[in-house]
């Protein structure tokens, strides 16, 4: 009699265990989906590859003074990994499609990402680097304009006499190097620090303006 009374509890425990297992599996699946949503090309340090060409351009005024032809070409070489990164991101978004599952590749998503990379990895960084260079040139000009004319004339005559010495002449040809190095470093820091705000604004622009205009409807789970 006792066995018959307790048996329902024994049988009822099976559905409870199954429900608990299903809940655990669902939690793990949701966790996996969340991890899979991470964009390796835009949410990881790999994103910095998109700025290598701008870093190269920032350093060009410094590297161009080198006697080594390979060193002088480094800014050009920087375009190779930067371009490869942008192409890889475009192909990735094309393959994943609008829903991000990869079941339906989308040419529109590929085109959309090409425009996005053109903005955040080319146009914006180039504008930042050029802006910094203009500011440093302007700042240097202001400092030079404040030097008294008598000192300028004395310095000019002294430089002319020193230039007769070949070694000194080579040194004077690189007299602006400290300013060039400072400008390059400031440009690199500016591009690095402003990359996240630029990406944020670009995301808003594309999500709310470009995507609707292109008829892109992302059905990713939030």
pLDDT (tens digit per residue) in 164-198: 565 555 545 555 677 788 888 999 999 999 999 99
In which band, very low, low, confident or very high, does the pLDDT at 125 lie, cut at 50, 70 and 90? Answer: very high
The candidate with the shortest Cα–Cα distance to 51, out of 22, 74, 85, is: 85
pLDDT above 80 for 61: yes
The pLDDT assigned to 34 comes to: 46
pTM score, two decimals?
0.69
Q: Any residues with CB less than 8 A from the CB of 154 and at least 6 apart, and which?
A: none
The candidate with the shortest Cα–Cα distance to 182, out of 152, 143, 139, is: 139
User: Of 43-52, 154-163, 180-189, which gets the smallest average pLDDT?
Assistant: 154-163
Indicate the average pLDDT of the chain. 78
The pLDDT assigned to 194 comes to: 92
In which band, very low, low, confident or very high, does the pLDDT at 111 lie, cut at 50, 70 and 90? Answer: very high
The pLDDT assigned to 134 comes to: 82
| DSSP per-residue letters across 34-51 | HHHTS-TTTSSGGGGGGG
pLDDT above 70 for 33: no
Q: How many CB atoms sit inside 10 A of residue 181's CB?
A: 13
Residue 104 corresponds to which tokens in the numbers above? Answer: 């339906």
Question: What are the pLDDT digits (tens) for 132-155?
Answer: 888 887 776 555 555 555 654 555
| DSSP per-residue letters across 11-79 | HHHHHHHHHHHHHHHHHHHHHHHHHHTS-TTTSSGGGGGGGHHHHHHHHHHHHTT-S-HHHHHHHHHTH
Q: What is the mean pLDDT of residues 7-28?
A: 56
The pLDDT assigned to 62 comes to: 87
The pLDDT assigned to 21 comes to: 60
The C-alpha atoms of residue 97 and residue 101 are separated, in whole angstroms, by 7
Give the three-class secondary structure for 219. Answer: coil
pLDDT above 70 for 6: no
Q: How many CB atoms sit inside 10 A of residue 175's CB?
A: 9
Residue pair 114/210 in contact (Cβ under 8 Å)? The answer is: no
């Amino acid at each position: 009699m006792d066995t018959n009374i307790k048996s329902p509890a024994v049988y009822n425990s099976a559905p409870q265990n199954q429900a608990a297992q299903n809940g655990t599996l669902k939690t793990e699946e949701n966790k996996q989906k969340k991890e899979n949503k991470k964009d390796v090309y835009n949410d990881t340090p790999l994103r910095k590859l998109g700025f290598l060409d701008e870093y190269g351009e920032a350093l060009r005024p410094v590297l161009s003074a080198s006697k080594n032809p390979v060193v002088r070409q480094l800014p050009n070489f920087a375009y190779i990994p930067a371009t490869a990164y942008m192409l890889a991101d475009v192909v990735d978004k094309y393959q994943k499609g609008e829903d991000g599952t990869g079941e339906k590749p989308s040419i529109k998503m590929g085109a959309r990402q090409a425009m996005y990379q053109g903005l955040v990895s080319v146009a914006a960084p180039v504008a930042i680097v050029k802006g910094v260079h203009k500011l440093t040139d302007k700042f240097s000009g202001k400092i030079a304009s404040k030097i008294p004319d008598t000192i300028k004339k004395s310095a000019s005559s002294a430089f002319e006499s020193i230039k007769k010495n070949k070694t000194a002449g080579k040194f004077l040809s690189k007299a602006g190097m400290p300013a060039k190095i400072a400008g390059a470093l400031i440009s690199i820091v500016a591009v690095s620090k402003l990359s996240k705000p630029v990406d944020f604004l670009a995301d808003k622009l594309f999500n709310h303006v470009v995507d609707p205009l292109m008829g892109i409807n992302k059905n990713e789970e939030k």
